[in-house]
Amino acid sequence: MENAELIDRYLDLILEENKTTNLTRIDSKEKARILHIEDSLVALPEVNRAPEGLYGDLGTGGGFPGFPIAVETGRKAILVDSVKKKTAIVERCVDKLGMSDRISTFSGRIEDLAREMPGKFSVLTARALSQLPSLLELASPLLKKGGLFVCYKGEASPEEEEAAKKVAKKVGMTLVSKRSLILSDGETHREIFLYEKTGKPTVKLPRRVGMAQHKPLID
Ligand SMILES: C[S@@+](CC[C@H](N)C(=O)[O-])C[C@H]1O[C@@H](n2cnc3c(N)ncnc32)[C@H](O)[C@@H]1O
C-alpha cells in the first residue's frame, strides 16, 4: 500500500473509533484530512534533518502527528500518551494496518519514558501538548546529542518564546529555526519550532512527574 493510502486508512480507523471514544473533536473526513494529515506532515522537512534513528511523538492522542510522520519517514517510532485508552486505540489501528513491527506505543508519562529510555531518540515531535518551556524540558532527556525536537504550535506569544529561550539554555537545547505557514483551509495558522539537543542540562532531568508542566524552569 502507498504511504498516502496507509495514512488515509489510519484516519478512517481513528474516525471510526472516535464515534465511541473521544480522540479528536474533528469528525468530518474532509476537515480531518487537513487538520490531521496535512498538518502532521508540514514538519516533514524539519524531521528529515534529524540523524538516523528512533522517532517519538510526545502526547500523541489519536496518533497525530506520530502516525503520518512515522509512515513517511520510515523510522522506527514510539507514540507516547499517558492515557491508556488512547494508546490502546492507536495500537489497535496500527496493528490493523500491519505496521506494529515498526510503530509502537508507550502508555505513560513522558517523564517516565525518559527514565526508561534516556538519550535514545534521534527526533521527537509534539503537537498541542504544552507550552514551549515545558516541552523543551520534557524532550531534552529523551534526545541523543544532535537529536532534534519539532514543536507544532498555534501561535506562540512573545512571552512564551522569551521563556523558552531561558529554559532551552538550562536543558541543553538550541533553537535552530522557526517557520510559520497557513494550511490549505486558508485559515489555520501553524508555527514549527525546531530545536537541537546541543549540550548537557544544568538541572537533573527528568524532574518529578508533572513538574515540567506545572512549574516550568523559567526563573
Ligand atoms: C491536546 S492532546 C493532543 C493530541 C495530538 N498530539 C494531536 O495534536 O492531535 C494532548 C495529549 O497529550 C497527552 N499528555 C499530556 N501530558 C502528558 C505527559 N506528561 N505524558 C504523556 N502524555 C501526556 C494527553 O493525554 C493528550 O492525549
Which one has a higher pLDDT value, 102 or 24?
Answer: 102
- Residue 157 binned pLDDT confidence (cut-offs 50, 70, 90): very high
Can you give the pLDDT at residue 27?
79
Average pLDDT value for residue range 198-212: 96
| pLDDT-derived band at 17, boundaries 50, 70, 90 | very high
pLDDT band, very low/low/confident/very high, at 24 (cuts 50, 70, 90): confident
- The verdict on the CB of residue 64 being under 6 Å from ligand 1 is yes
Q: Is 153 close to ligand 1, i.e. is its CB under 6 Å away?
A: no
pLDDT for 22 equals 87
Helix pair 3-17, 84-96: axis angle to 10 deg: 140
Confidence of residue 34 (pLDDT cuts 50, 70, 90): very high
Contact 134, 212 (CB under 8 A): yes
Query: 131 CB less than 6 Å from ligand 1?
Result: no
Any atom of ligand 1 within 6 Å of the Cβ of 82: yes
The model's confidence at residue 1, banded by pLDDT at 50, 70 and 90, is: confident
Residue identifier of the C-alpha nearest atom 27 of ligand 1: 61
DSSP tag of 100: T
Q: Residues at the annotated binding site? A: 59, 64, 110-111, 127
Task: Identify the residue whose cell numbers are 539554555.
Answer: 169
Give residue-wise pLDDT tens across range 41-94: 999 999 999 999 999 999 999 999 999 999 999 999 999 999 999 999 999 999
Per the prediction, the chain carries an average pLDDT of 97
Q: Is 110 in the pocket of ligand 1 (CB under 6 A)?
A: yes
Q: Quote the CA–CA distance of 125 and 3 in Å, as a whole number.
A: 19
Question: Which residue has the least CA distance to atom 1 on ligand 1?
Answer: 128
Instruction: List the residue whose alpha carbon is closest to atom 12 of ligand 1.
Output: 59
Query: Which DSSP letter does residue 184 get?
Result: T
Task: Specify whether the CB–CB gap between 151 and 43 falls below 8 A.
Answer: no
Q: Tell me, which fold does domain 3-214 have in CATH?
A: Rossmann fold (3.40.50)
Domain ranges of the chain: 3-214
Ligand 1 centroid – CA 80 distance (Å): 8
State the pLDDT at residue 5: 97
The residue whose CA has the least distance to atom 20 of ligand 1 is: 109
Is the beta carbon of 81 within 6 A of some atom in ligand 1?
yes
- From the CB of residue 146, how many other CB atoms can be counted at a distance below 10 Å? 12
Residues with Cβ within 8 Å of residue 143, at least 6 apart in sequence: 119, 121, 122, 124, 149, 197
From the list 52, 191, 214, 53, the residue with the least C-alpha distance to 137 is 214
pLDDT greater than 90 at residue 219? no
Q: For 117-136, what is the mean pLDDT?
A: 97
Q: What is the pLDDT of residue 113?
A: 98
* Residues contributing to the annotated binding site for S-adenosyl-L-methionine: 59, 64, 110-111, 127
Contact 128 CB / ligand 1 (< 6 Å): yes
